[in-house]
Amino acid sequence: MPDSERKKTFLNLRKKFIESRFKKLNPEQRKAVLSVKGPLLILAGAGSGKTTVLINRIQNLIEFGDAYESNEISDGITDADIDSLKELLVSGKEPSAGMRKLLKTGNIMPWNILAITFTNKAADELKKRISDAVGADSNEVFASTFHSACVRFLRRNSDAAGISNNFDIYDTDDSQRVMKDILKSRGIDSKFISPKAVLSVISRAKDEMNSPDDLRVAASSAREELFATLYHDYQLRLKNSNALDFDDLIYFTVRLLENNPEVKSYYNNRFKYIHVDEYQDTSYAQSRLIYLLTGKEGNICVVGDDDQSIYKFRGATIENILGFEERFPGSRVMKLEQNYRSTSSILNAANRVISNNVGRKGKVLWTDNEDGDLITVYKGERENDEAAFIASKIWENNKKGIPYNAHAILYRMNAQSKIFENYFIRAGIPYVVMGSLRFLDRAEIKDILSYMSILNNPYDDLRLKRVINVPARKIGQRTVENIENIASGLGIPMLEVIANASDFPILERSLKPLKEFYGLYERLAECAADKSISDLLTYVLEETGYLDMLKADGEKGQVRIENVGELMSSVKIFEDEQPEASLNDFLTDMFLASDLDNYSEENDAVVMMTLHNSKGLEFDIVFMPGMEEGIFPGDASRYDEKEIEEERRLCYVGMTRARKQLYLIFAEMRMLFGMTRRNPVSRFIEEIPEEMTNSINTGEKFLTARQKREREERRDPAILKTSITTHSIDKKRSTKKIFKGGDRIIHKVFGRGIILKATEIGDDILLEIDFDDFGKKKAMANYAPIQLDK
DNA sequence: TATCGTAGTGTTTTT
DNA sequence: CACTACGATA
């Protein structure tokens, strides 16, 4: 056999062999796994095994490089090589080291592979499953969230990025405090501009890679100019505190790569193959980041599902999926449409709901799974019937041997969980509520971490202010303000002012406590310098008197002490896993952590969480309570088709979490925010053909709700959409909120505007408002934060 | 400087 | 309704 012939034979066998390695996958999945060269967009439906595809793709890259799509082959292939490869194909045995070399091309090493996810949980799962698939090499694969990846890039290139490498990370709560300070110092009444509103404008600006100056230039009103100024102030404060917020992590990294070609080319060389999960939820800045990281070869693979895009309100933009092919010329697009998760009843119902959305890429999920049970629709009288029904179902199931953790309750808002907790406690059903209050959001945890933060970063005035008088040490508000003024006057951190307190006459009266505080700081700093993180934590607790303060606080303090204990165990775990890590690393970890990360199916408890948090998870049995107009879809979205579509996608996400059984539940009447409301059944339930559902208790009323909505659509004002029967009608509310067309108003978030149209709906008024700065929007008079503009 | 009372507020938010 | 956050008071 001539050499060229031998090569050809070997190439063919090599392809076959690689294919055989992924024979467990379906043809579409396999194709996605084997297509490693160039840009690839995978449109992966819910439950289509996208994580499996990602893992197999990475495994393929590690074991075979780009061999499947390459004709590259070393010289001197022998007949023996061909024979042994043939044998491997038949026997399915592992290839020898020598053979493995012949099977791999492209010189791709594990550290050339980058995999980006949104949650730590997803990143951890990816790492774990890659390591199960390929073993030791896998540690070198860079699998991480957007934010942790950016932190690493920024710390490594802090000089080029123009920041200090031990920067703090500010979470939403920190940002709000900063903004509140800024508004106060500018004498702006937070009644008309709330810190939240400003921060959301800033956050959006960063998502779109706009600087304060960009915002100023684009401003077309005094209000927008003010926002630009506030943005500017905010960045200045963060800079002076040596801190970045979550959005900055992305924004600064993009700027780093844009402005420093040598840094960019370093990462381009390092990350030859890039993967991004949940691409439908990326912001412009994130997609820009991915674009910059992707080298000339364009080996970028993104996975997403436009039907599961539920974070538009946070800056995610579907343009990233729609414009992918344009941005990366020569892309391939693949679809994964076979669902392995749900029964066909569930999947069909979910398909019916999502098909009502107009703006879709168009995908039809199908499944080989059995039909399974019909979707159960249950109507309760009131919200407690929802809880009673779910509790009794779970109890029955558990008697039958179905574990508690097979059940999940997915709701629209965190406030809904309370009643289930009450019922479950009474029924003795174990449960966990995910994500309502982050561990980090607990005051005691934040306090302790603040102490540690100022040791790591003495410029952190915000966190210094947080703890300077906790526990109370006679340093009052006045004193703090004085220190602040001196500090900003001299352009030095507050801590430095405290260190030299005796130089400033105005601080005379608080000199003693300030000296003591600085002494405390020095002792802590010394401890931080040469002790482990866990020792430091113990020392902080004792030395600051924080623990004593908790001990003195009776029952409440006891709970807090337990939380602090939990913090201690995460420190221990952290030290165990990363013995080399610094205090800085630990704090980063903590501030990028979320409640969700700790969720494990291992303890047998019913899980409750918001629909948003359920993305990416699956459960045998899913309950979705609160399927009512006004709740889901929520009031704010009910009159805007775009927002309804987002709610519908959220509903689709929820429904497709279920493997075997799905319960859609609503109540005829419910207490919400202090008033009893009657809500019609959610349109999403109506979008499911009745023959697909098994209705309990819904009877005639169910139809009435449907008729109600139909009639209302004909704009019959006599029929109430949502009749509000308040206990005692809040007089302020009902008299204050009278608006008519032509009125000028002030909205807390959107500022000034004029009412175009006011339509009475029940006790409420639907307003169409043309805002001076934000254009046309719709709002409900009773709920929107609106006042007449004098 | 701490505490008490009331006015205000109330989606979703992976990081 | 249930929570917080702020301001008036002791």
Angle at A439 between CA A436 and CA A444, to 5 degrees: 125
Give residue-wise pLDDT tens across range A436-449: 777 888 888 889 99
In angstroms, the Cα distances linking A403 to A176, A538, A622, A646 are: 42, 39, 13, 33
Protein CA at A417 to nucleotide C1' at C2, angstroms: 14
CB A137 within 8 A of CB A161: no
Confidence check: pLDDT of A708 > 60:
no
DSSP notation for A101-169: HHH-BS---GGGEEEEESSHHHHHHHHHHHHHHHGGGGGGSEEEEHHHHHHHHHHHTHHHHTS-TT-EE
pLDDT at A535: 95
With H, G, I as helix, E, B as strand and everything else as coil, classify residue A576: helix
A30 part of the active site: no
| A169 nearest nt, CA–C1' | B15
A174 part of the active site: no
Rounded-to-integer distance, Cα A770 and Cα A642, Å: 17
A278 part of the active site: yes
Q: For chain A, first and last CA: distance in Å?
A: 94
Of A145, A140, A187, A190, the residue nearest A169 (C-alpha): A145
Of A51, A52, A172, A759, which one is the catalytic site residue?
A51
Protein CA at A154 to nucleotide C1' at C4, angstroms: 36
Question: Does residue A671 lie within 7 Å of nucleic acid chain C, judged by its CB?
Answer: yes
pLDDT band at A781 (very low <50, low <70, confident <90, very high): confident
A325 part of the active site: no
Give residue-wise pLDDT tens across range A22-42: 999 999 999 999 999 999 999
- The DSSP bridge partners found for residue A301 are A40, A275
Confidence check: pLDDT of A686 > 50:
yes
In angstroms, the Cα distances linking A399 to A392, A402, A406, A623 are: 11, 7, 13, 18
Enumerate the nucleotides of strand C whose atoms come under 7 Å of any protein CB.
1-2, 6
Burial A733-750 (b: 16+ CB within 10 A, else e): eeeebebeeebebbbbbb
Average pLDDT over residues A458-472: 90
pLDDT at A4: 83
pLDDT band at A783 (very low <50, low <70, confident <90, very high): low
Phi, psi of A341 (to 5 degrees): -95, -55
Confidence check: pLDDT of A1 > 70:
no
Give residue-wise pLDDT tens across range A327-351: 999 999 999 999 999 999 999 999 9
Confidence check: pLDDT of A714 > 70:
no
Per residue, the 3-state secondary structure of A422-467, as one string, reads: HHHHHHCCCEEECCCCCHHHCHHHHHHHHHHHHHHCCCCHHHHHHH
CB A608 within 8 A of CB A423: no
Burial A692-716 (b: 16+ CB within 10 A, else e): ebebeebeeebeebeebbeebeeee
